[in-house]
């Protein structure tokens, strides 16, 4: 599948709004779940993918 990857956290209202927009426009996307409560956004892989990622 080509298209965007939505890095999603179920409790995130921002992810929810992006999902709505993508569905309304019919844009293809894949969902990759990120468990923020587990610190998944602070891994080395996250910092490699997102250069401005959380470093704390």
pLDDT one-digit tens code per residue, 14-25:
999 999 999 999
CA distances from 54 to 2, 5, 24, 29, 32 (A): 27, 19, 30, 24, 17
Output the six-digit token pair for 38: 């587990």
Domain that holds residue 23: 4-49
Does residue 30 lie within any of the structural domains?
A: yes
Count of structural domains within the chain: 1
Question: pLDDT by residue (tens digit) across 40-52?
Answer: 777 787 777 777 6
Q: Specify the higher pLDDT residue, 11 or 36.
A: 11
DSSP label at residue 26: T
Does residue 9 lie within any of the structural domains?
A: yes
Does residue 54 lie within any of the structural domains?
A: no
Mean pLDDT of all residues in 16-43: 88
Does residue 14 lie within any of the structural domains?
A: yes
Predicted TM-score (pTM) above 0.85:
no
Does residue 55 lie within any of the structural domains?
A: no
Does residue 37 lie within any of the structural domains?
A: yes
């Amino acid at each position: 599948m080509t298209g965007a990857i939505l890095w999603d956290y179920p409790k995130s209202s921002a992810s929810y709004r992006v999902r709505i927009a993508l569905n309304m426009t019919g844009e293809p996307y894949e969902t990759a779940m990120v468990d923020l409560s587990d610190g998944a956004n602070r891994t080395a892989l996250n910092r490699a993918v997102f250069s401005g990622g959380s470093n704390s």
